[in-house]
């Protein structure tokens, strides 16, 4: 076992425990976007950064092992500032149509922007705009919402083994694509939906199982919409 101090609280964890797990064990609420406990680690989004005493830079806790004697702050000014900048950068490439998005209310980007009070991005409009891709009967791919966390790629590889998608290009031009930017239907994709399950935003949604496609699970009632304040009565 090793001992470390997280937000002033001394805890003991097994050697080999990742710093993210140790922080959560200490009760810290660490935001994560690319991390998924069922997928191989990527360490790419940096939302999970924490301040480790004596380290020159913030540490991505999901890919760093906890070490004996570490003194960690999970919400220092630097950590909060860093997370805000990351959210602004992600927001630059994310199309916000939350009221009509399938993920509204269950979206990590939405949650974290709210949590850190990020209402707009100073980089707005600088991201790429790929739009909707690939007309297929099962998966809606809206890459104007993709935040490049690569969870879908790692699920397609690590869970299903299909390896139908990967990261294409770099920087602003980077996108998730089937081989040669072709259609999913022409790839090894089996439309299992694992990529949809792990997408933290609304970039991947099901055409057959969600929202508009599941009338059997929706009960129609008369209600007064409060979205804009006009107060229209809708079914
Ligand atoms: Fe740790 Fe993305 S959650 S780097």
Residue nearest to atom 3 of ligand 1 (CA): 32
How high does pLDDT run on average in the chain? Answer: 87
Query: Which of ligand 1's atoms lies nearest the C-alpha of 49?
Result: 1
What CATH number corresponds to the domain at position 61?
Answer: 3.10.20.740
CA of 82 to the centre of ligand 1 (A): 13
Tell me: the pLDDT tens digits for 112-122? 999 999 988 88
Closest to 18 in 3D by CA, of 57, 52, 60, 64? 64
- 3-class secondary structure, 130: coil
Tell me: the pLDDT tens digits for 40-50? 999 999 999 99
In a domain, 220, yes or no: no
Pocket test for ligand 1, best of 43, 108, 109 (most atoms within 8 A of CB): 43
Domain boundary among 75, 98, 116: 75
Structure confidence at residue 213 (pLDDT): 42
Tell me: the pLDDT tens digits for 144-191? 899 999 999 999 988 878 888 989 888 878 889 888 888 888 889 888
Q: What single string gives the DSSP state of each residue in 53-95? A: TT-SS-EETTSSB--TT-EEESS-HHHHHHHHHHHHHHHHT--
Q: pTM (2 decimals)?
A: 0.82
Closest to 70 in 3D by CA, of 117, 126, 7, 127? 7
The interface pTM score, or ipTM, of the predicted complex is 0.98
Which residues sit with their C-beta closer than 6 Å to ligand 1?
Answer: 32-35, 43-48, 60, 62
Number of domain units in the chain: 2
Residues 134 and 206 in one domain: yes
Kindly report which listed range (80-89, 94-103, 198-207, 220-229) carries the lowest average pLDDT score. 220-229
8 A C-beta contact, residue 176 and residue 143? yes
Structure confidence at residue 177 (pLDDT): 87
Residues 108 and 197 in one domain: yes
Residues 23 and 119 in one domain: no
Query: Which of ligand 1's atoms lies nearest the C-alpha of 43?
Result: 4
CA of 64 to the centre of ligand 1 (A): 10
Burial zone of 16 (CB within 10 Å; 0-12 exposed, 13-18 middle, 19+ buried): exposed
Structure confidence at residue 128 (pLDDT): 72
Which structural domain, as residue segments, surrounds residue 204?
87-211
- 3-class secondary structure, 208: coil
Helices (H), the chain: 19-25, 77-92, 108-115, 151-158, 194-198
CA of 115 to the centre of ligand 1 (A): 17
Residues 45 and 126 in one domain: no
């Amino acid at each position: 076992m090793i001992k470390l101090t997280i937000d002033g609280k001394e805890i003991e964890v097994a050697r080999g425990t990742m710093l993210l797990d140790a922080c959560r064990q200490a009760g810290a609420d660490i935001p994560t976007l690319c991390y998924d406990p069922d997928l191989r680690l990527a360490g790419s989004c940096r939302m999970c950064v924490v301040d480790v005493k004596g380290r020159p830079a913030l540490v991505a806790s999901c890919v760093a092992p906890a070490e004996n004697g570490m003194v960690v702050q999970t919400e220092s000014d630097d950590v909060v500032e860093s997370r805000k900048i990351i959210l602004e950068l992600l927001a630059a490439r994310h199309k916000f149509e939350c009221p009509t998005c399938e993920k509204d209310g269950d979206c990590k980007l939405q949650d974290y922007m709210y949590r850190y009070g990020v209402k707009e991005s100073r980089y707005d409009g600088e991201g790429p705009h790929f739009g909707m891709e690939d007309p297929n009967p099962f998966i809606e791919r809206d890459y104007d919402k993709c935040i490049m966390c690569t969870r879908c790629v790692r699920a397609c590889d690590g869970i299903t083994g299909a390896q139908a998608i990967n990261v294409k290009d770099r920087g602003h031009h980077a996108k998730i694509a089937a081989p040669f930017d072709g259609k999913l239907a022409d790839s090894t994709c089996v439309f299992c939906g694992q990529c949809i399950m792990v997408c933290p935003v609304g970039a991947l949604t099901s055409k057959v199982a969600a929202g508009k496609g599941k009338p059997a699970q929706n009960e129609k009632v008369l209600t007064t919409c409060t979205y804009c304040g006009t107060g229209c009565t809708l079914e």
